Structure 1
């Protein structure tokens, strides 16, 4: 299935969740978060997976200050994992100060973007396709979406070029 979200689209609303510093579950509305702001949504197939943990997410952590300097208000890392897993994964990046790890536990938000990835044959179920979206005031300015398990167009450097 081809991705459905693209540059020029209004980002769909949806709820994502995370555990706060007191381990209390918090829900956030994508539309509320993106209203009047510039945000980056980084989608990854799974927490603790090799490319996500060693390349994709570290790039956004390393380039967060540059992204913020170019006007990015929030950087979200989303995966079809639960909020407990996302909290534990975030702890594996002690240097992180700006990337918020959020959960799309049931994959509902991923489906609304049209970015689900079926990895059932590998025993992983339905996951999120790897992507990076630049969103300004709820409108997608850049949709850098990978095909399959690739990592060629969705890096922090690719988003910096789009800014």
Structure 2
């Protein structure tokens, strides 16, 4: 079942890149307090993810914060080393909490996983964005086609806040 408004976010083990190396974090801990904007991408360094999706949230972090967002987080079915390198390459710094879902445990628990095997990608996350308040989904936009960044882009999220 796909995560919808009113649902509690699933609790799954994730990893976050840090200067000291990958650190484990539970999704309920990372995403369960305050107002959180979570966006999921099929993969780090992929064209739409790197050129549009992630940069939009980085560039407009102050606007999100002004609308009451405490945390902006990104999840991808990649390991924490890849997410760390991606964050560095895209100058993310502290604007977005990067959450590696290396085994797609969170994506599967949220019903937001997809089969990317015809592209050689295996199981991946659908492209989406969600507004979460104290662990409960308030709004979620899931793309029909992974290359699109329409309903899951920062513009759509800002309109929903």
Give the TM interval when normalised to the shorter protein: over 0.9
Residue of structure 1 aligned with 2:12, choices 14, 39, 51: 14
Residues 61 and 97 of structure 1 are in contact (CA less than 8 Å); yes or no, is this contact kept in structure 2? no
Offset, 1:33: 2.8
Offset, 1:96: 4.1
The aligned residue for residue 118 of structure 2 is 121
Please state if 1:60 is matched with 2:84.
no
Residue of structure 1 aligned with 2:31, choices 26, 31, 34: 34
Offset, 1:117: 1.2
The aligned residue for residue 160 of structure 1 is 158
Residues 44 and 76 of structure 2 are in contact (CA less than 8 Å); yes or no, is this contact kept in structure 1? yes
Offset, 1:61: 0.4
Question: Which sections of structure 2, spanning at least 5 residues, go unmatched?
Answer: none
Residues 16 and 24 of structure 2 are in contact (CA less than 8 Å); yes or no, is this contact kept in structure 1? yes
Q: Which structure 1 residue ranges, 4+ long, deviate > 6 Å from structure 2?
A: none
User: If the length of structure 1 is used for normalisation, what is the TM-score?
Assistant: 0.93
* CA RMSD in angstroms, aligned pairs only: 1.3
The aligned residue for residue 143 of structure 2 is 146
User: If the length of structure 2 is used for normalisation, what is the TM-score?
Assistant: 0.94
Residues 17 and 98 of structure 2 are in contact (CA less than 8 Å); yes or no, is this contact kept in structure 1? no
Deviations 1:82-115 (A, max 9, x none): 0110000001122643112110000011000101
Offset, 1:28: 1.5
Question: Which sections of structure 1, spanning at least 5 residues, go unmatched?
Answer: none
The aligned residue for residue 83 of structure 1 is 80
Residues 130 and 141 of structure 2 are in contact (CA less than 8 Å); yes or no, is this contact kept in structure 1? yes
Offset, 1:22: 2.0
Structure 2 vs 1, CA of residues 95 and 79 (structure 1 numbering), >3 Å: closer, same or farther?
closer
